[in-house]
Amino acid sequence: MAWYLLLAAGLFEVAWAIGLEYSDGLTKPVPTAGTVLALVASMVLLAKAVEQLPVGTAYAVWTGIGAVGTALLGIALFDEPATASRLAFIGVIVVGIVGLHSVST
């Protein structure tokens, strides 16, 4: 169950990171409210996950999910570059996430 909580926490991290772009420096009320809600949800779910998972593993996976998701949505939504090298390094992060999951007890 902790891994599902951690996955959800990571997805909420992506949501608040993307929300930062839409909130225009936290000046737009509705996107700002969504960003803050996603941030709180992400933190609460991460806190619940670390009750059962090692904090170092959970934090690394949480930030990895956030980094990969935000980078991919940046490409899809904001026309950020999708170079082969950038995608390869995003893939390395995914390998790290999968590796941490596979060696965790």
Over the stretch 55-103, which tens digit does the pLDDT of each residue have? 999 999 999 999 999 999 999 999 999 999 999 999 999 999 999 999 9
User: In the numeric block, which tokens belong to residue 19?
Assistant: 């929300």
CB 19 within 8 A of CB 49: no
Phi-psi region at 43: left, alpha or beta (left = phi > 0; alpha = psi -120 to 50): alpha
- Give pTM, 2 decimals: 0.92
Determine the distance from the C-alpha atom of residue 6 to the mean position of all C-alpha atoms in its chain, rounded to a whole number: 10
